[in-house]
Amino acid sequence: MNVPEWDDILRLSASDGRISTGERSALRRRLEDAALDERQKAVFRSRAFEAAREVARNVGADGALAWVEDIVKLLDPTEAPSGEDVTEVLFSPGESCAQAIIARFRTCRRNADVCVFTITDDRISNAIADAHRRGVVVRVVTDDEKANDPGSDALRLAGAGVAVRVDDSPYHMHHKFAAFDRGVVISGSYNWTVSAARNNEENLIVSGDRRIVAAYEAEFERLWAKFAGNILSPATA
Could you list the active site residues?
Answer: 174, 176, 181
122 membership: H or E segment, kind and range: helix 122-133
- d(Cα 193, Cα 143) in Å, to the nearest integer? 14
User: What letter does residue 191 receive in the DSSP assignment?
Assistant: -
Beta strands in 41-199 (DSSP E): 87-92, 111-116, 137-142, 163-166, 176-180, 184-187
**Do 39 and 8 form a contact (C-beta atoms < 8 A)?**
no
Q: Are 112 and 180 in contact (CB under 8 A)?
A: yes
Rounded (10°) CA dihedral 103, 104, 108, 111: -150
Task: Please report, for residues 14, 155, 166, 173, 226, the alpha-carbon distance to residue 169 in angstroms, rounded to integers and kept in the order given.
Answer: 31, 19, 9, 9, 11
